[in-house]
Amino acid sequence: MVQPLPYLKETASQTAGPYVHIGLAPGAAGFDIYRRELGWEIAAQGVPGERIRIEGLVYDGTGAPVKDILIEAWQADANGIYPHPEDSRHAEVAPGFRGWGRIITDFDTGLWSFETIKPGPVPGRNKRMMAPHINLWLVSRGINIGLNTRMYFEDEDNGADPVLNLIEQEDRRRTLIARRTATGTYRFDIRLQGEGETVFLDV
Amino acid sequence: MKPAEFYQRDRLLQPPALTPNYKTSVGRSPRLAMLSLQGSMSEITGPTFGHSDIDPIDNDLIKNYAKAGDPIGERIIVHGRVLDENGRAVPNTLVEIWQANAGGRYRHRKDSYLAPIDPNFGGCGRTLTDENGYYFFRTIKPGAYPWRNWVNSWRPAHIHVSVFGTAFVQRLITQMYFEGDPLIAKCPIIETIPDQRAIEQLIAPLDTNAAVPLDCLAYKFDIVLRGRRSTLFENRLEGN
């Protein structure tokens, strides 16, 4: 026998289920309980940067919108700084910038949207710059473990992004790039399965 | 502090996306492989929370939605620690829970189960772990409830648990089950987990030491998040 390795094991994930809103967005579930729900404001008014709106649908393998999805977003500010102590520049982050948001769908249509500021480029591994992006995490009924992906912007230079360039099939890179539909408005649809399947990340 | 790396998620312990006995997963699971990504600043950072975000009563589900009295049901404390895979406490992290009432009915506009709503029970709570990673809630033990999977599928009593950790890659949602519940062995959502030890890690033991005599029982539920890698070789030129 060898010596035991005394690491604990990560707690297993389970689906968030159809009633995830009770815990994470009780107002959407239909009741008022907390003084303030968390995740509704990624960047307060007045935070420097271009204010943008992002909307989209999440589709299942049959092409139907997933109406009970919950998405969390995590992004840097307009200067590419994360409000977190691991970011060496975090002391300079814009006041009022939270960087994190919770996004729920319209239960009838599945459409979701959120407002934020456009993130700046962030240094990646080995000091290679990453193109502006928003990190997304999707949970819902039928999803056993949260799905990670990234959203990039079609009006930015994504050609040198080290993560997009890891995607072997070049046409799949497009699944991570939001379309600009109007000034300050982007459309980002996510396809969980099948034709045009979004690239998901094991981070 | 040098930038963190996190231990790779053990995908042999975690549920895969496609688990056909849990029917909804069939149409909601990617068919293509995920792209494995070493952590960058985007992954090793994550949102932070403070006491100004929440109220002290938020972790007391017996009182946080009480209108004309206390909710009906088995009064319990759910408590434990949030640790990482190195056994280190994860302090000041947000833990959120939600659950059905004692009869298995959720306070959600989409739940139409015939068991009634409890007028004094909301079913959600949140708290921050203390400096030792410790958290606790007071609540009512939830009831089992039926769901449309097989013709006669019933979920075991469970509490949904959401935890953040310090990095976006530690983000976790899971479910806590109760020791001795015979429905656990029959549940296709639990069966999505391929490893029996990982299933047992979701079952909270009765903890009579933490019970309050003549008031409420207690269950203990520790949560383990991905481990942060100690930097063994401090002078690596390639950096993060």
Write out chain A residues lying below 8 Å of B109, CB-based. 29-30, 107
Percent of chain B with pLDDT over 70: 94
Grade residue B4 by pLDDT with cuts at 50, 70 and 90: confident
Closest CA to A128 of A153, A159, A162: A162
From the list B35, B46, B240, which residue is nearest A166 (CB)?
Answer: B35
pLDDT attached to residue B239: 45
The pLDDT score that the predictor gives to residue A127 is: 86
b/e per residue A127-145 (b: at least 16 CB within 10 A): eeebbbbbbbbbbbbbbbb
Which alpha helices (DSSP H) does chain A contain, by range? 20-24, 26-29
Suggest the residue from A10, A102, A138 to mutate for an interface test with chain B (most B CBs closer than 10 A): A10
Of residues A125 and B146, the one with the higher pLDDT is: B146
- For residue A29, give how far its alpha carbon lies from the nearest alpha carbon of chain B (Å): 5
pLDDT in tens, B43-87: 999 999 999 999 999 999 999 999 999 999 999 999 999 999 999
Total residues belonging to chain A: 203
Q: Name the residue with higher pLDDT: B212 or B231.
A: B212
Residue B230: the pLDDT is 66
The SS3 call for residue B53 is helix
What does the alpha-carbon distance between residue B92 and residue B59 come to, in Å, rounded to a whole number? 14
The pLDDT of residue B235 is above 70 = no
What is the pLDDT at residue A126? Answer: 86
ipTM metric: 0.97
Does residue B236 surpass a pLDDT of 90?
no
Report the alpha-carbon distance of residue A196 to residue B130 in Å, rounded: 44
Percent of chain B with pLDDT over 90: 93
**For all residues of chain A together, what is the average pLDDT?**
97
* Residue B240, pLDDT score: 39
Q: Which of B22, B65, B135, B145 is catalytic?
A: B145
Rounded distance between C-alpha atoms, residue A55 and residue B46, angstroms: 22
Sign of the CA dihedral running B185, B189, B192, B198? negative
Q: Does B18 score more than 50 pLDDT?
A: yes
Chain A CB within 8 Å of residue B83 CB? yes
Read off the pLDDT band of B229 (50, 70, 90): confident
Position B2 scores a pLDDT of: 62
Residues from chain B contacting residue A13 (CB–CB below 8 Å) = 14-15, 172-174
Chain A residues 39-68 with a CB less than 8 Å from chain B: 60-62, 66, 68
pLDDT for residue B231: 59
pLDDT above 80 (res B232): no
Q: Which of B81, B158, B226, B228 is catalytic?
A: B158
**Shortest CA distance to A76 belongs to which of B4, B6, B45, B48?**
B45
Flag whether pLDDT at B1 surpasses 90.
no
Compute the distance between CA of residue B97 and CA of residue B103 in angstroms, rounded to an integer.
18
Pairing of strands A133-139, A70-74: antiparallel
User: Is a pLDDT exceeding 50 seen at residue A153?
Assistant: yes
- Residue B234, pLDDT above cutoff 80: no
Element housing B25 (H / E): helix B24-27
- pLDDT (0 to 100) of residue B3: 67
Beta carbons within 8 Å of A165's beta carbon, 6+ residues apart = none
A123 touches chain B (CB under 8 A): yes
pLDDT of A15 > 60? The answer is yes
Q: What are the tens digits of pLDDT across the range B88-116?
A: 999 999 999 999 999 999 999 999 999 99
* Residue among A29, A84, A167 whose CB faces B107 most closely: A29
Of B3, B174, B198, the CB nearest to A9: B198
Interface test with B, best of A144, A163, A192 (most B CBs within 10 A): A144
Who among A7, A137, A167 is closest to B86 (CB)?
A7
At residue A102 the predicted structure's pLDDT band, cuts being 50, 70 and 90, is very high
pLDDT digits (tens, 9 = 90+) for B74-83: 999 999 999 9
Question: For residues A138 and A148, what is the distance between their CA atoms, to the nearest angstrom?
Answer: 7
Catalytic residue among B138, B155, B226, B228: B155
Tokens matching residue A181 = 């539909």
Measure in Å the smallest separation between the Cα of B211 and chain A Cα atoms: 24
CA B106, B77, B84, B43 torsion-angle sign = positive
State whether B16 and A144 contact (CB < 8 Å): yes
Give the 3-state secondary structure percentages of chain B, helix then strand then coil, rounded to 5. Answer: 15, 25, 60
pLDDT for B122 beyond 80: yes
Our answer to whether residue B11 is catalytic in this structure is no
DSSP 8-state secondary structure symbol assigned to residue B101: -
> CA triplet A159, B29, A194: central angle to 5 degrees?
60
Min Cα distance A65 → chain B (Å) is: 11
- Read off the pLDDT of residues A65-100 as tens digits, 9 standing for 90 and up: 999 999 999 999 999 999 999 999 999 999 999 999
> Can B51 be counted among the known catalytic residues?
no
B212 DSSP assignment: B
pLDDT at A189 over 60: yes
Q: Is B145 a catalytic residue?
A: yes
pTM value is: 0.97
